[in-house]
Structure 1
């Protein structure tokens, strides 16, 4: 990398400080036909690749007014990239050379290898003498000089201006995914049901905020459900039950499934149409359990999360009333030990 950046700096210094010296140096030129993969996935464009080639050759070797052609096609190979090249031989009349590079982990690192390979095949070391091959020689540069001396300010082409501030980005892209430790923040919301654990089926919704690293994640989930049908216990007391819970979920991540432990606290409430002689309603719950969540990433930013969880309550909800006919205390309903939940959430990545 330092050698390539130094050679690119030499090109820029030569263009600005010594144009006449550049004109005296024997040079070749060729047209560039470049086909990156679709999608490009971090690959440089044709202008950037031309500048990388200039860094290897020591001058701007890619032109549009010459006949020789160098064609480069980049292909996906597993999780990496490789390039297929066609280039003219230094010997005039010989069949064009065709070859492939070794696979690289990132497309930008592959571009450096491609530039070095083209220079090795067509650079001055391949000519065998001081003059370039006639069929590859660059056309002469015509310079028009003013008879008067004026201050000269070089304004680089737009492609050079865009490339010059990017060395830091190139180094970052070349880092392997394992070296990146940034956290991914995701928010999700969607419907939820509690099929077991309340007097009857409860429906509602949940919201989740998660902080995701490559091997694990930490999430906070808030859920609220209510039983749409009235009726509690064998006496079918006309009341609805609602439950609000908050959970902390440490998770182990796989490609498609998250396996999570759960620590949950909640509060159950009972809603009557008219006052009723409630003796005691202990609605506070604490529980531990687990969750299995499947992730479908249908867009780089958005995904669909489908989950199921089970929570074993340490403190069960107890619903006790007084029988109006006998005056006796009646335990109408006690929550089962385990409460089950199901849900679907639409998730969006907020930052990476």
Structure 2
């Protein structure tokens, strides 16, 4: 076999989609969500960009991949800015549930059963809260950013290694050496750039557990209205028999019971998001209780926590939660 080059970026993208192990550290680590995933530049806005490939790992970490040929002049430095654009706007503007919906739509397009595909991928691992953990990691910026190309120039390798040392995200480049034989057979020789044991250990390490009250004090000590609204939600949740806690990476407060955590309070948007699973009657009930929603998406509508400082809103919210808990099947 002799060194060669892919005919175009689409061919390389297609190959990675079919064989994601060539850009990962172990076989079966990545699950394809979809190709050409739209990325908006405003909350609820239209897609401005299209990410080449979106995967998730078995640990529920979103993986954003941009594919370039070595012959493309953007491979030098522009591709890094491009990928950072996608990551910054995806983490900010993809609503909770967006990655799960994209995965299910892609499975439908391939005439596959999404639940069966996910179960096979996780291979017996706990999957009830898998997509919730994907959302948590996305909101916290715990993602993997990958530039994949048939050759990685040295200046790009230096930038990737620097970013991987400095950022919370896992940043890497994957060089896919492309070889072809005279009879048309192809072979790829992957080389991962940017991964060191030091950065790997630092990024996998969790934070010490903290209570919701410690989380509120840490993030909203100078925002008493927001802090008070969060506490009102926690009080109501406890009265109705729900448990609350802080996620492992300290990015959100959750409320729920057993392995169901349908309430999420993320520090990036100061709102309570509820997993209504597209139930229109519950959405209308929530609107009747708290007013117009800050984010009115189908799966995870969200409203500002400050509204719970109003006694009337708080009483209506409590009544709504009683109904929601029963209908969602998480009653004590």
Structure with the bigger RCO (C-alpha within 8 Å, sep 6+) is 2
**Structure that is richer in strand per residue:** 1
TM-score w.r.t. length of structure 1: 0.21
**Structure that is richer in helix per residue:** 2
TM-score w.r.t. length of structure 2: 0.22
